[in-house]
Structure 1
Amino acid sequence: MPLDPHLFLAFLVAAWVLILTPGPDMLFVIGQTLSGGAGRGWAALLGIGTGALVHVALAVSGIAALLAASPALFDALRIAGALYLLWLAFGALRSAWRGGHALRPAAPARMAFRDGLVTNLTNPKVVLFFLAFLPQFVDPGRAPAWLQMALLGPLVPLMGVPFYGLLIAGADRAAARLSAFSRWLDGLAGLLFLGLGLRLLVSGRPA
């Protein structure tokens, strides 16, 4: 067996703690669901999950380590991701100002997928997360480290699907009940994106 059973059990526990802890991904999915329904929420989650798999591949290949060692690249990614989130916030807040969903057609789900993918890929904290998290559950005496990380990494987004499914369903029901207040839902989504963008912009590089 390429994975140590005890380390694998510890990994599952730690992964669930991380999944259940509120964070940027959770807020982003909620914001997309509030502004466009369950379809957009699922598309956003798929985009985030795809980005996470790319980060796992980067960590396994060693490219993520090179990125983490370069302050210039780290800051460039951080600023790009923050600006993209601020752009999403501007669009949602502008829609709220103009009167919400009634004044514009529903955005296709592929846009939510794109937004989730881009915001995840341009968040350098995710790079550092996988670099710091996965190696803790690797047993050097078993299979190669890259193989163990490749097996463990994809489990994090996959394990979160049931929980996020409940989250999306709840947010979608809330949005349906408040459909008359669509401009306020757009405003709430815009404020969520604005907070995420500003947080990423001013967070800087961790010590």
Structure 2
Amino acid sequence: MDSGTLLSFLLVDLLLVCVPGADWAYVIAAGLRGRSVAAAVGGLVGGYALHTALAAAGLAMLVAGSPALLTALTVAGAGYLVWLGWSVLRRPAVPEAGEAPATEGGRRVFLRGAAISGLNPKGLLLYLSVLPQFLVTRDAALPVPAQTAALGVLHMACCAAVYLTVGVLARTLLGARPAAARAVTRTSGAAMLGIGAFLLLQHAF
């Protein structure tokens, strides 16, 4: 795998990561509701670490070859997004200016983030459709599993950099503006709910 292939994948991957979606919505909501941005991002990256391990082990191709299993995973992820989005809309509480933020266990924030990225249809698309296009199968210096792991780690690094930036900027810029923060939190919740509902409807018809 040469540097040109890695750079091409990096550009495509950054484009996908920078498109707002469920991951963005979660890290923004976590930051504005007084939760640890690092734990939220760590959870999201952890979910993609699981994707990377499964892809390197060849299980991603197994899922790709089973439409029923792929549909079940997508529906499960969509349902989880609907539930999480509704929870955020129902309780969009953010700290008032000067008020100490409410805390939530870092483990719970981490696990929730891992569930979101682990079941995120955009993540499934990346690992099942996009990443395989950058693998060199003939006369490659590295075996395919090692290439898959390398591209997966590159994706995780992109996610960590982008999502940490988004979460910190959201907290810094909106932390002293409770009304704006509440509006952004509601928007994030609506985005998660909307993405999940769209995917559920897509598989219902």
TM over 0.5, shorter chain? yes
Question: Does the 8 A contact of 2:34 with 2:102 survive in 1?
Answer: no
Deviations 1:6-32 (A, max 9, x none): 222222222232233333322322222
The correspondence of residues 6-21 of structure 1 with structure 2, limited to 5 A, is 6-21=4-19
Query: What is the DSSP-based 3-state SS (H/G/I as helix, E as strand, rest coil) of the residue aligned with 1:177?
Result: coil
Higher helix share: 1
Say whether 1:71 aligns with 2:70: no
**Secondary structure of the structure 2 residue equivalent to 1:80:** helix
> Is it true that 1:116 corresponds to 2:140 in the alignment?
no
Amino acid at match of 1:15: D
Once residues 166 and 30 of structure 1 are traced to their aligned partners in structure 2, the CA distance between those partners, rounded to angstroms, is 10
Q: How many angstroms apart in 2 are the aligned matches of 1:44 and 1:191?
A: 19
SS in 1 for 2:20: coil
Alignment gaps of 5+ in structure 2? none
Q: Is the 8 A contact 2:95 2:178 kept in 1?
A: no
Please list the CA deviations of residues 116-152 of structure 1 after superposition, one character each: whole Å capped at 9, or x if unmatched. 1112222344223212222222222112111111122
CA distance in structure 2 between the partners assigned to 1:156 and 1:187 by the alignment? 28
Q: Does 1:90 align with 2:86?
A: yes
1:36 to 1:193, Cα distance in 2 relative to 1, 3 A: farther
Flag structure 1 segments of 5+ consecutive residues without an equivalent: none
TM-score by length of 1: 0.80
Deviations 1:63-91 (A, max 9, x none): 11221222222222222222222222232
- Counterpart for residue 130 of structure 1: 127
| 1:79-111 superposed Cα distances (whole Å, 9 cap, x missing partner) | 222222222223222224xx7668x95322322
Q: Which amino acid aligns with 1:160?
A: C
Deviation at 1:185, TM superposition (A): 5.3
Report Cα offsets for 1:28-73 as digits up to 9, x if no partner: 2222222235x2x322221111111111111121211221222222
The CA deviation at 1:154 is 0.9
- In structure 1, what residue type is equivalent to 2:9? F
Q: Does 2:194 match 1:195?
A: yes
Relative to 1, partners in 2 of residues 1:125 and 1:182: Cα closer, same or farther, differing over 3 Å? Answer: closer
Farther off after superposition, 56-65 or 18-27: 18-27
- Which residue does the alignment assign to 1:52? 48
